[in-house]
Amino acid sequence: MIENKKNGYLQYLTTRSETDKLEYKRLVATVKGETRKFKREYWEPFVSRIEHDLHGRQINAYKIIRNLNRTEKNNLQPNPTVEHTWLDYCQKLWTE
């Protein structure tokens, strides 16, 4: 689906014709609609699970709400061993 959109855009760039432009816009609209549908399909069970937890075990619901309200969202920490491995790899490539 996304590949079709990309190919449609590339086709429009090469020809600059109105028909290709309309086809690309149609593909963009299709991708947006499908993306909305996928997000909705994910969001509905997620919200219903939170609502179920609010009436049952409230631990999970409060954990989710607490994570949403946190000011620091980025929990990822860089792994120094991976950085060191990449540094060694790049140095090895450079010296060869």
pTM of the model: 0.50
Q: pLDDT band at 89, cuts 50/70/90?
A: confident
Residues across the chain: 96
**How many structural domains is the chain composed of?**
1
* Average pLDDT score over residue span 66-79: 66
DSSP, collapsed to helix, strand or coil, labels residue 75 as coil
What rounded mean pLDDT belongs to the chain? 81
Q: Is 89 inside a domain boundary?
A: no
| Cα–Cα distances in angstroms (integers) from residue 34 to residues 8, 27, 38, 41, in the given order | 17, 11, 6, 10
pLDDT tens for each residue of 7-63: 888 888 899 999 999 999 999 999 999 999 999 998 888 888 777 776 777 777 777
Note down the domain range covering 34.
2-75
Eight-state DSSP code of residue 71: S
For residues 96 and 88, give the distance between their C-alpha atoms in angstroms, rounded to a whole number: 12
